[in-house]
Amino acid sequence: MTKKNQWVTVHPKGWAIKGEGNKRATKVTKTQKEAIDIAKRIAENQKSELYIQNREGKIRSKDSYGNDPCPSKDKEH
């Protein structure tokens, strides 16, 4: 399995979880919180990064679930 960073992005039907580089969403949810929870599980399983965008498309938060040599002390998610 290839490690792909996970992105939570705005979608016409709510919020989408996308693997980095994918054109299609892995899943679309009604709320951002639900999308974050799902994307977090995927990122943990794949030991990858999680990027969360706001409604304007700017990154509002990110977390690493991989082998980060300098893990942050941020425990937001």
pLDDT at 64: 92
pLDDT(15) > 60: yes
Sign of the CA dihedral with 20 first, then 23, 44, and 55 last = positive
- Phi first, then psi, for residue 20 (nearest 5°) are -55, 130
The pTM assigned to this predicted structure is 0.84
The answer as to whether 76 is a domain residue is: no
pLDDT band, very low/low/confident/very high, at 16 (cuts 50, 70, 90)? very high
Residues 27-66 have pLDDT tens digits of 999 999 999 999 999 999 999 999 999 999 999 999 999 8
Please count the structural domains in the chain. Answer: 1
CB within 8 A of 7, min separation 6: which ones? 17, 18, 19, 20, 39, 51, 52, 53
Question: Pick the residue with more confidence: 36 or 69?
Answer: 36
The answer as to whether 72 is a domain residue is: no
The answer as to whether 30 is a domain residue is: yes
The answer as to whether 68 is a domain residue is: no
Tokens found for residue 77: 């998610």
Q: Residue 32's CB: how many other CB atoms inside 10 A? A: 18
Full residue range of the structural domain in which residue 24 is found = 6-62
Mean pLDDT, rounded, for 22-31: 97
The answer as to whether 33 is a domain residue is: yes
How far apart, in whole angstroms, are the C-alpha atoms of residue 41 and residue 56? 24
pLDDT at 74: 57
The answer as to whether 45 is a domain residue is: yes
